Amino acid sequence: MTIESARKWLVLGSLIVTGTHFIFFLIAPAVGYPIEYEHSIRLLQISTPVFLGYLGAASRFVFQRHKATDQVVISNPLLGTLIRGPFIVFGLASIAALCAFGYSNRLNAPPGVGMSVDTLATAVTTALGLLAVTTNVAVSALFGGEDRNKEAGGSQND
């Protein structure tokens, strides 16, 4: 994976996750998914700030004046896995949690076996933590390159 495609992945991934979360959590309560707006917005508040932060970093990177930004060179073959993997895991974990929540709270489910909103929030937070712990480093390296380049003398090699 090239540096450029890694950046694209991060930006696209963040946009897709933010967009789908917005759409899902705003529409779901209205179309019968078993969650109340109050809780839906709470989950949105948990999940979106991380991705909005990534998008903010990417925007600053694009619009700031810099010369040495493309001097970041990362040739580790794990780069692709570390960029794509957390997004895929977060996506799958979110889908699994939301499906389990919806299924266990369906109308004809046996009484009392539903997943609580707190449990769902915990699942989303855990998945988000996995994503953040790896992706934050990548975002700071890929989009915050100028300052680090200045400090490190202009380039960084892995």
Binding site for another protein (CB under 8 A): 32, 34-36, 104-118
Residues 6 or more apart from 18 whose CB is under 8 A from it?
A: 48, 51, 52, 55
Comparison of 36 and 70: residue with beta carbon closer to another protein: 36
Cα dihedral 140, 144, 150, 154 sign: positive
Residue 77 or 111 with smaller CB distance to another protein: 111
- The least CB distance from residue 119 to another protein, in Å, is 9
Task: Supply the minimum distance, in Å, between the C-beta of residue 25 and another protein.
Answer: 15
Shortest separation between residue 130's beta carbon and another protein, angstroms? 21
Mind giving me the DSSP string for 38-70? HHHHHHHHHHHHHHHHHHHHHHHHHHS--SSGG
Pick 22 or 103: Cβ nearer another protein: 103
